A and B are shown apart, each in its own frame.
Chain A
Amino acid sequence: MSTPVLDVRGLAFAYPDGHQALYGVDLHVHQGERVALLGPNGAGKTTLVLHLNGILTAGAGEVAVSGLPVAKRNLQEIRRRVGIVFQDPDDQLFLGTVRQDVAFGPANLGLKGAALDKRVMTALDLVGMADFADRPPHHLSFGQRRRVAMATVLAMEPEILVLDEPSSNLDPASRRELADILRSLDVTLLMVTHDLPYALELCPRSLVLSDGIVVADGRTFDVLTDAPLMAAHRLELPWGFDPRSVGSLPA
């Protein structure tokens, strides 16, 4: 089997105040996969995400990205390979214009001039926001800001895109537009969410994180239709939603 894009082994972590969030997480994501990471609030999803690019350092266990261990000496390269889109776009967009914000990451990688401009516009094109390049981010709608936040990360040409709650606070139309964009991207994807229909729509495979360990790893359809598993880990489908009645599933 090829080297996984994301390889997490025995990852454990406790916060400085003693609260232990992760108790030995094992997971791997291979190239081209779209994987959903499901779990109730407080399961440790965000903590896990912050380990993937070395913001937090594992207490035990290890994380590797395409074979490169997440360690202090590799941080620059790790952060290029792993693109994290955080939940609140206002945390991610902090410069005066959309263009400056999207250029921030690649410029940190050393890109300049025409190459940088090209990278920025390509990323904005991918999320359909090229017309907004010179607007200040805080004048955009929430859905538009989330798309720009994605562009800021795509501009770094990551090997894996990690999205933290991509559908939260979006209206149904923005939610669908974002799904279309995600499907159109040719990139490995790890999507942290408790929007279960969204996971089913976009990700063929799902992991369930509960109380700091991975308790399930399989086809999203199988996970969502396993009633005892769902109940044991505080996962619930929205009222009236039945995965069995959804016609076409992503392969």
Chain B
Amino acid sequence: MGAGHGHRLHFHAHSPIHRAPAHLKIVALVVFMLVVVATPRQAYAVFAVEAAALVGVVLLSRVPAPYLAKRMVIEVPFAVFAVLVPFVAYGPRIDVLGVSVSEPGLLAAGALLIKGTLGVLASLTLAATTEPQDVLRGLERLRMPDLIVQIMGFMIRYLDVVTAELARMMVAMRSRGCEPRSPQHWPTLARAMGSLFIRSYERGERVHLAMLSRGYDGRLP
């Protein structure tokens, strides 16, 4: 039952970025994101500066580019949405490679893609250079409400437990001739998800009982 060592997003190294206090990195990330979001759509020079700054931080952190690139896949749903925008948006149409698309849509999509990519890359860099526990302590130091920090802590702690449980359920399904990937078995998969939810919920209750048994009164020491 031993879970994998280390978190999937963290890259172990000893760079100045890794050593920087977590709360500073969180503040830097939030400020960076606000600036990116506030940048006007067509200020490409500003985007270039932002991207250069971010790449500089990544280089300094010595996290290999392929490592981050693989994890950027999470952006795909947003990218798909951005690609759709020029086709469905209103406004004057222009021809790009012989296809008629909406001009404001194209600009909006471009800006969305740039901002999204910068945001995802910046977040991944924080995750790659900061242990989850340190992120929590950083948030605590930034006076994030205690309850929210606690909830995030539980999420990190039990993510592995729940994914391991899901993996075991999948193995059990496969062992009985059910292939979770095949659409034919999706109804079964949906029921398995339902029971995973119930199990996690009940585990939550048991964890709470175990905490009460040790004198928990709403505050983590």
Contact = CB atoms under 8 A, between A and B. Distances in A.
Contact of B207 (A76, A84, A94): A94
B64 interface: no
A79 B211 CA distance: 10
A88 interface: yes
B206 A88 contact: yes
A91 B207 contact: yes
B3 A139 contact: yes
Nearest to A108: B215
A107 B221 contact: yes
A138 B213 CA distance: 21
Given A91-B203, A141-B2, A152-B214, A104 B221 contact: yes
A105 B203 contact: no
A138 B161 contact: yes
A142 B1 contact: yes
Interface in A63-82: 76, 79-80, 82
Interface stretch (B66-74, B109-117, B152-160): B152-160
A76 B218 CA distance: 13
A50 B208 CA distance: 13
B1 A95 contact: no
What size tier do the contact residues of chain A reach? Answer: 20 to 34
B70 to A, nearest CB: 24
A138 B157 contact: yes
Given A91-B203, A105-B215, A86 B221 contact: no
B95 interface: no
B196 to A, nearest CB: 15
Nearest to B219: A108
A37 interface: no
Given A104-B221, A142-B1, A94 B209 contact: no
A67 to B, nearest CB: 20
Contact of B215 (A80, A88, A140, A142): A80
Given A95-B153, A104-B221, A138 B210 contact: no
A91 B215 contact: no
Nearest to A56: B209
A97 B133 CA distance: 9
A55 B213 contact: yes
A83 B213 CA distance: 7
Interface string B178-220: 0000000000000000000000000100110111111111001
Interface string B152-178: 011001101100000000000000000
Contacts of A95: 153, 157, 220
A80 B219 CA distance: 17
B160 A138 contact: yes
Interface string A80-116: 1011101010111011110000011101110000000
B5 interface: yes
A53 B215 CA distance: 10
Contacts of B207: 91-92, 94
A108 B210 contact: no
A108 B216 contact: yes
B214 A86 contact: no
Interface string B8-52: 000000000000000000000000000000000000000000000
Contacts of A90: 158, 161, 203
Contacts of A80: 215
Contacts of B203: 88, 90-91
28 contacts: A50-B209, A76-B217, A79-B213, A79-B215, A80-B215, A82-B213, A86-B209, A86-B213, A91-B203, A91-B206, A92-B207, A94-B153, A94-B158, A95-B153, A95-B157, A95-B220, A96-B153, A103-B221, A104-B216, A104-B220, A105-B215, A107-B221, A139-B3, A139-B5, A140-B2, A141-B1, A153-B214, A156-B214
Given A91-B207, A138-B160, 16 more contacts: A55-B213, A79-B213, A88-B206, A90-B161, A90-B203, A92-B207, A92-B210, A94-B153, A95-B220, A96-B136, A96-B153, A96-B157, A97-B133, A108-B214, A108-B216, A141-B1
